[in-house]
Amino acid sequence: MYRPSKLLVLSLLLLLLAPCLVATAQNETRKQPQKKNAARKNQQRRKPLLSIPEVERKDVICFALYTVENKILKLNAQLYPLKEGEPRKVRLEVKKAGEWKVIAETDVIQRGWTAPFRVTGWDPTRDTAYRVAHGKTAYYEGLIRRDPVEKKEIVVAAFTGNSISPAHGGDISRDDIVQNIKRIKPDLLFFSGDQVYDHRRHYAAWLKFGRDFGEIIRSIPTITIPDDHDVGQANIWGANGKKASTGSGPDGGFFMPVEYVNEVQRAQTSHLPDPFDPTPIQRDITVYYTDMKVGGISFAIIED
């Protein structure tokens, strides 16, 4: 009886399995780009939504906010990170008779890179061109507007929330908002909270806020007050500054470290009129509650 050799049987098996092996290899080849695409998508998901751009030194001043109350100008300049060896002082200049004159100088606060100014004896009856200056090349210009006391109607442009999270629509342009605000020509801008939605990177998000809205903020008095997301938690009831037990904040107080909370409030409120009572609350957390008049209308600026 004829018995096929083992070699012949193995050859037949290989011939029968060849299409399967080829198909499997082709499937694995197809999976490789899919795996790479999936890995790329995962990497993109892990990539932070925010980054602090490297700017030319002439652009190191990102934006500035201001208010005027009781003939006191309060202006806060927000800088990008300074490099080693660069000056830690910023100048405030105004244009008089066609020339720029230095009226104040202040130290840069490194934690948060802010430069707050307080100028007394300000004349609120006329528009004044200003510029913030750093070193010999960086300048940021704007206009301190006169108090419109003669107006019977005051226009306030109010905003709330400024998330760039994909779940909230993503990082869409704010240019349409800015252009419409320019057409409206409001007397006051009011950002009522959640200017920043990133719970751990306020500085980077605040710079982004300034890039988005700086074109109108530079020349219109602006009130900004932090809310829960600004200080890194989901809800906030100040509770006199006690330590919150969780980031969701239902028991009151602040969850993030005191230094972080104070940095947020320094960035967002240093330009507001002087606080009614500057005494810090528990754990040495700063306060900013105050009032401000625009065109004869008094606005209470309160905090939780």
Q: Which residue has the higher pLDDT, 42 or 62?
A: 62
Residues 135 and 57 sit within 8 Å (Cβ to Cβ): yes
Pairing between β-strand 114-120 and β-strand 72-79 as defined by DSSP bridges: antiparallel
Taking CA 120 as the corner, what is the angle to CA 185 and CA 118, rounded to the nearest 5 degrees? 75
CA neighbours closer than 13 Å in the CB half-sphere of residue 1? 1
Q: How many CB atoms lie within 10 A of CB 177?
A: 14
Helices and strands (DSSP H and E) totals, the chain: 4, 12
Q: What value does the mean pLDDT of the chain take?
A: 88
Render pLDDT for 250-297 as a digit per residue (tens, 0 to 9).
999 999 999 999 999 999 999 999 999 999 999 999 999 999 999 999
Dist. CA 93–CA 139, nearest whole Å: 10
The pLDDT value given to residue 33:
53
Render pLDDT for 274-283 as a digit per residue (tens, 0 to 9).
999 999 999 9
For residue 55 the two structure tokens come to: 């700017």
Dist. CA 193–CA 211, nearest whole Å: 17
Render pLDDT for 134-150 as a digit per residue (tens, 0 to 9).
999 999 999 999 999 99
The pLDDT value given to residue 25:
43
Residues 252 and 216 sit within 8 Å (Cβ to Cβ): no
Render pLDDT for 6-53 as a digit per residue (tens, 0 to 9).
333 333 333 333 444 334 444 544 545 555 555 444 444 445 678 999
From 61, 132, 141, 118, select the one nearest 271 (Cα to Cα): 118
Dist. CA 77–CA 113, nearest whole Å: 9
Mean pLDDT of 193-221: 97
* Second CATH level (architecture) for the domain 57-301: Sandwich (2.60)
